[in-house]
Amino acid sequence: MTLARAVFLDRDGVLIEDVHLIVDPAKVRVLPGVVDALTRLKSAGFKLVVVTNQTVVARGLATEADVAHLNRHMAGLLTMQGAPSLDAIHVCPHHPKASLPQYRQICECRKPAPGMLVRAARELGVALSRSYLVGDRLTDIAAGARAGCRTVLVETGRHVDAPIESAEPVDPSLRPDHVCRDLAAAADWILGDA
């Protein structure tokens, strides 16, 4: 049996506008070109999996249920605009210096750790070596590389920010397999590369 392929997608800055610490579903805005990109990737046989760090939970700004509600709202907006359904959404609520003690931990799911990708691959029957990660931060790229995926960095402006805080540092010399301006261009490259 041949395992499926997936495109793992960071949420903020790749699918929707990166509104700092977004907690209000009314502020969710799908980025231009996303619907078409997702449609083309799904038509080519890729599973579509969102993998997102959500420190709003660790900071006490939102609950896990609030984030799940926002993610359902985003998925609904995408399908309402004509995108195919997402196959899964994985969220890491942890932070090594969380305000809420129950989320203050070093986990395997917070990017740059590859835990969300590994878990999704196991649940969906995905071959990580045949899959891709698209993100806008070096920590996304590190998670994809550690999982064994090919990686695409979209240059949203956040790509030049310092890496997010994590238990282990990200090698600043790490390079993605491809760099482009947005998810539409990432889809072009993935479809040509695959």
Q: Which of 50, 121, 111 is nearest to 86 (CA)?
A: 50
The amino acid occupying position 137 is: R
Per-residue pLDDT tens for 66-107? 999 999 999 999 999 999 999 999 999 999 989 999 999 999
Delineate the domains of the chain, giving CATH numbers in brackets: 5-193 (3.40.50.1000)
180 token code pair = 């482009």
In this prediction, residue 165 has a pLDDT band, given cuts at 50, 70 and 90, of: low
The amino acid occupying position 35 is: V
The three-point CA angle 72-29-188 to 5° equals 95
Contact 36, 15 (CB under 8 A): no
Contact 140, 111 (CB under 8 A): yes
d(CA 158, CA 156): 5
Q: How far apart are the first and last CA of the chain?
A: 19
Q: Is the pLDDT of residue 124 over 70?
A: yes
Please identify every residue annotated as catalytic.
Answer: 10, 12
Q: Which of 30, 7, 10 is nearest to 191 (CA)?
A: 7
Q: Is the pLDDT of residue 63 over 70?
A: yes
Top pLDDT among 31 and 171 is at: 31
Encode 70-81: b = buried (16+ Cβ within 10 Å), e = exposed: bbeebbebbeee
The three-point CA angle 86-90-91 to 5° equals 135
Encode 42-59: b = buried (16+ Cβ within 10 Å), e = exposed: beeebbbbbbbbbbbbbb
Q: Which of 187, 192, 189 is nearest to 14 (CA)?
A: 187
**Average pLDDT of the chain to the nearest whole number:** 93
